[in-house]
Amino acid sequence: MSILVTGGAGYIGSHTVVELLNMGKDVVIVDNLSNSSILVLDRIKEITGKRPEFYQIDISNKELLRNVFEKEKIEAVIHFAGFKAVDESVKYPVMYYENNIMSTLSLIEIMTEYDVKKIVFSSSATVYGINNPSPLVEEMPTSATNPYGYTKVMLEQILKDVYVADSDWSIALLRYFNPIGAHESGMIGENPLGIPNNLMPFIAQVAIGKRQELSVFGNDYDTVDGTGVRDYIHVVDLAFGHIKALEKISESKKVHIYNLGSGVGTSVLELIKTFEVENKIQIPYKIVPRRAGDVAICFANADKALNELNWKTTKTIADMCRDTWNWQSKNPNGYRQS
């Protein structure tokens, strides 16, 4: 029996596939490579010695997805596939609703057809909206301020409704905080196309000389140094959170909701400083006005994942900075050769 990983060629998916293969699981990846590279498969093989089954398909295509379920024996699904850029979702809301919602609906439909009723879903801390104070706990009300966020709020609701209608389903909704870092081998990592929106990929591109300087969005927040505070989580810790969630949904049929974060906030300036010290590289930056839609502080209460999954983060901000730079410096153009 295999674990089907949608979006398994992407950033978080590829790191999770590595850990699944390391623990002896059979893995089938489905990915349309809209935001990833086929070369990831070679890298996964180099790290683990194993090549997962791979289907280059769009999961909203039910015929092609059905074909995968027909050929493979799937026991559970980890569902990463989707678009994830907040700004882009504001510009192209229909594209986001279509890709994120419709593809998940077809996935649920085909899973039901094949009686596969275990799913781990990539949700996000974005579902806490802008009104809940940190530390954020799973019981807080959810909301959104942009189409990307709404897709996560809606998909959580859809999956809860699926369970209400059929309690044979077992579902984990994992709310990631801010995933950064890379596999310690430097073979796989985050590979943004174009100008990065997120802080760590931008820092990494300044460090490699692709961008001249970082813009720090506001230094007048009510925080330790005036810059925004976030809960950064190493992508390998995050990958292990999925393994634990998979075990959980196998032992108890329910909708399980977990924050996957460290429980600790780090400011923009603290992250820059740690990157500089750890990698001995200067990151030139300038302070610019706040970015619309940003909250001052966002970090998790991570107790539920610790108590129920026996999972917590193990890696430090210094580890995240070191591993990001190891990946970026070994792969200045990501998976592209030049």
Q: List, by residue number, the catalytic residues.
A: 148
Q: Tell me the β-bridge partners of 297.
A: 229
* β-bridge pairing 229-230 and 297-298: parallel
Residue closest to ligand NAD (Cβ): 10
Residue closer to ligand NAD (CB basis): 53 or 58 = 58
Alpha-carbon dihedral angle through residues 189, 107, 302, 242, given to the nearest 10 degrees: -50
- Candidates 36, 134, 142, 259; binder of ligand NAD (CB under 6 A) is 36
Query: Which option in ligand WQD, ligand NAD, none does residue 12 bind, with CB closer than 5 to 8 A by kind?
Result: ligand NAD
By CB under 6 A, tell whether 10 contacts ligand NAD: yes
199 binds, among ligand NAD, ligand WQD, none (CB under 5 to 8 A by kind): ligand WQD
Asked if residue 163 binds ligand WQD (CB under 6 A), the reply is no
Q: How far is the CB of 278 from ligand WQD (least distance, A)?
A: 18
Strands 74-79 and 53-55: unpaired
Structure tokens at 294: 């940003």
Question: With CB cut-offs between 5 and 8 Å by kind, which of ligand NAD, ligand WQD, none does residue 237 bind?
Answer: none
Nearer to ligand NAD, 218 or 261 (CB): 261
Alpha-carbon distance 145 to 157, whole Å?
A: 16
How many Cα neighbours within 13 Å face the side chain of 138?
19
Q: Which stretch binds ligand NAD (CB under 6 A): 80-88, 138-146, 201-209, 271-279?
A: 80-88
Quick check: 68 binds ligand NAD (CB under 6 A)? no
* Structure-block tokens of residue 178: 């801010």
279 is written with which tokens? 């990698």
* Partner residues linked to 77 by β-bridges: 4, 119
Is 199 near ligand WQD (CB under 6 A)? yes
